Amino acid sequence: MSISYPSFKAAACHAAPVFLDSARTIDKTLDLIEEAASHGAALIAFPESFVPAFPIWAALRAPIVNHDFFRALAREALRVDGPEIGRVRAGARRHGVHVSLGFTEGTEASVGCLWNSNVLIGPDGAVLNLHRKLVPTFYEKLIWANGDARGLRVVQTGIGRIGMLICGENTNPLARFALMAEGEQVHISTYPPCWPTRPPAESGAYDLRRAIEIRAGAHAFEAKAFNIVSSAFADRTLKDAIGAVDKDALDVVDRSPRSVSMILDPAGEPIGAPLSDQEGIVYAEIDTSLSVEPKQFHDVVGYYNRFDVFDLRVDRSQRDPARFAEGVEEPPGAEAHEQPAVVSFRETAAARQER
């Protein structure tokens, strides 16, 4: 049987949401899908928590003064089966494209439990995967809950085997290896517009763009995969909302290192022009056959590994708050002692031997 190596055009959106407004951000998402599709893109990636926005306030102000922002985020959080994602699914189907969308996910089980999630939608509008960030990073723990590994997987599509990780997960070697071990050919990485860790006047502030370049290049090189990096942009809607409550916090946003959107080949080299200081879409042609030759040198999920030495187990079991067993009505007059006894296989085998 011959092996297929799909080729296609990818699009990484370097874009700003309409801050804490899911409906208008979905409108913008659909516009960007239409634009990218008109340029021939078959896979369109959007940034981390694009809908309704990355909770940058958690880095800038004390938790005791951020309740209004959190309530707004919880109010605008989406459900994967809700109408907002439904509109994106319809857009993907209308244009026949794959869409990767970062969003803050809510749950019917709680009005305040949120996840940092990403949904991959196929060209027929089907949800192919839902991934929740395994561990929120640093101050993100004030906003999002831990995810589980249900979505830590690679999806077989008509344009190749696609996996994705959110922001700091791309620093986690075990999460990355889990995707490599499923034959990942195209990796999607998503990031916020900036990620403040210190006041800008202090030395040692986190350089988000450089961190993205290092992580994206490392994964592309180690996985021998294409890496599509989509980062958000800080626009007027974000700055107006932050500046309205804290001018000093706005200064931190303005002076913090920016993120970058880019696409890298299996050697870790950028293809297409990266974007950082303005909104736009990064395009690049992807030829998955280019992953074959580098696998001769280092195939870390093949012959460049020692599976007798290393062993990785990934638990994909679902983590729900409770499991509910519905009661089964017994027929009238039935007694507990009339129920058949439960015995082990060994007990049954021993009984047969005695007979």
Find all residues with CB under 8 Å of 82, minimum gap 6, and list them. none
Find all residues with CB under 8 Å of 160, minimum gap 6, and list them. 6, 8, 185, 186, 286, 288
Q: Are strands 186-191 and 160-166 parallel, antiparallel or unpaired?
A: parallel
Mean pLDDT is lowest, of 1-15, 148-162, 331-345, for 331-345
pLDDT at 331: 59
Percent of the chain with pLDDT over 70: 92
By the 8 A CB rule, do 81 and 117 touch? Answer: no
pLDDT at 342: 40
- Domains assigned to the chain: 7-295 (3.60.110.10)
Written as six digits, the tokens of 60 are 């800038």
Read off the pTM.
0.90
| Cα separation, 129 vs 242, whole angstroms | 33
Known catalytic residues?
Answer: 48, 133, 167
pLDDT at 201: 83
Q: What is the DSSP string of 9-21?
A: EEEEEEB---TT-
Q: How confident is the model at residue 333 (pLDDT cuts 50, 70, 90)?
A: low
Residue 189 has pLDDT above 80, yes or no: yes
By the 8 A CB rule, do 56 and 242 touch? Answer: yes
Q: DSSP label at 179?
A: H
C-alpha dihedral sign at 169, 170, 171, 175: positive
By the 8 A CB rule, do 55 and 19 touch? Answer: no
Residue 339 has pLDDT above 60, yes or no: no
Query: For 218-231, how does the pLDDT look when each residue is reduced to its tens digit (9 = 90+)?
Result: 999 999 999 999 99
Query: For 105-142, how does the pLDDT look when each residue is reduced to its tens digit (9 = 90+)?
Result: 999 999 999 999 999 999 999 999 999 999 999 999 99
Residue 1 has pLDDT above 70, yes or no: no
